[in-house]
Amino acid sequence: MSLPFTHLTSTKQLTRSDTDAILAVAKEMEGVLKKGGSDLLKGKILASLFYEPSTRTRLSFESAMQRLGGEVVTADGIQFSSLYKGESIEDTIVVAGQYCDIIAMRHPEVGSADRAAAVSPVPFINAGDGPGQHPTQALLDLFTIQKECKKIDGLNVAMVGDLRYGRTVHSLSFLLGLYDNIELTFVSPKELTMPEKVTSFCKEKNITFSEASDLEAALDSDVLYMTRIQQERFADKSEYERLRNVYTLKAAHLKSKKTVVMHPLPRLSEISTDVDTLPNAAYFRQVRNGVPVRMALLAMLLQKA
């Protein structure tokens, strides 16, 4: 199942048939993982370029490549790279493309992924561009929702926390917009509401959505997607201090066993650890799903699946 594009920078470029194909290949990749991996990408090299902190995304990309028999070359930290010497993103990507078959990059600037994709000599994947997009996280979120809820159409999904700077909720909203009868509930402090690019998309697509500032508004949803207040995006640190503990989901809040609690992680105080042992807590299963989804994307963009 090939994808009708070479680079993945945003979930806005995906159609329902693309997501159906990616989720189907990710399911097959779970089978490959159970068998201990394969040689599908033997001889292929992933360049993993992370110019912003990352644990899960980076490790799961690298693990996905290696589970498929491929290899990884890495660069991390702007201070250790030629970007620090003043090299442009474009030159960095053209150079990296000489050493590998596919690139995954995380960078602090919105739009850096589109700039990189415009010149990349090999398939390029956005692993997070500042507060912009994080398409691979959204795809693993979608895969998790499908596994946990046994469907995607008709669900009520609440997103809670830093909706302004949190890139995962932007990307996930665009993806959920591809499904039928989705209802979205956006819960945030008034300083951190969902940006216009997402709310205007919902209006265009006739997606029912509501906005609230009280956690209570999110508690009846099928999926409760908590997010971290994005400290690194605040120009005013005192504003971050004021907002950092605004929402804490506790076990006592969860009225229904059916509410699936997700979080892209890392978690700070948004979910109390007393939720971890409840069947609702899907966030560690969600982390695990990052590997088969990224295996699927690597294989599909390299025309091997």
- The footprint of ligand NCD (CB under 6 A) covers 56-57, 128, 134, 137, 167-168, 228, 264-265
SS3 102: strand
Q: Is 255 a catalytic residue?
A: no
Q: Shortest Cβ distance from residue 167 to ligand NCD (Å)?
A: 5
56 is catalytic: yes
Active site residue 106: yes
Q: Report how far residue 172's alpha carbon sits from residue 29's, in angstroms, rounded to the nearest whole number.
A: 22
CB of 132 to ligand NCD, least distance (A): 10
Angle formed at CA 231 by CA 191 and CA 228, multiple of 5 degrees: 80
The least distance separating ligand NCD from the CB of residue 56, rounded to whole angstroms, comes to 4
Residue closer to ligand NCD (CB basis): 267 or 304: 267
Query: Distance (Å, rounded) from C-alpha 202 to C-alpha 157?
Result: 13
CB closer to ligand NCD out of 167 and 294: 167
Cβ proximity to ligand NCD, 221 vs 289, nearer residue:
289
Catalytic residue among 58, 134, 164, 167: 134
Residue pair 43/65 in contact by the 8 Å Cβ criterion: no
Q: Which of 58, 106, 228, 253 is catalytic?
A: 106
Q: Are 272 and 247 in contact (CB under 8 A)?
A: no
> Side by side, which strands form the sheet with 102-107?
71-76, 45-50, 102-107, 124-129
Say if residues 151 and 158 touch (Cβ distance below 8 Å): no
Q: Where are the beta strands (DSSP E) in 22-108?
A: 45-50, 71-76, 102-107
- Residue pointed to by tokens 């398939």: 123
185 in active site: no
Active site residue 170: no
Residue 94 CB, nearest distance to ligand NCD (Å)?
25
Task: Report d(CA 35, CA 23) in Å as an integer.
Answer: 19
How many whole angstroms separate alpha carbon 36 and alpha carbon 38?
7
Give the separation between CA 272 and CA 295, rounded to whole angstroms: 31
Nearer to ligand NCD, 123 or 135 (CB): 135
Q: Which is nearer to ligand NCD, 168 or 185 (CB)?
A: 168
Torsion sign (Cα): 267, 272, 273, 279: negative
Comparing CB distances to ligand NCD, the nearer of 70 and 132 is: 132
Catalytic pick from 11, 19, 57, 199?
57
Q: Nearest distance from residue 55's CB to ligand NCD, in Å? A: 8
Q: Are the C-beta atoms of 123 and 304 separated by less than 8 Å?
A: no
Closest by CA position to 224, among listed 248, 191, 200:
248
- Which residues are catalytically annotated? 56-57, 85, 106, 134
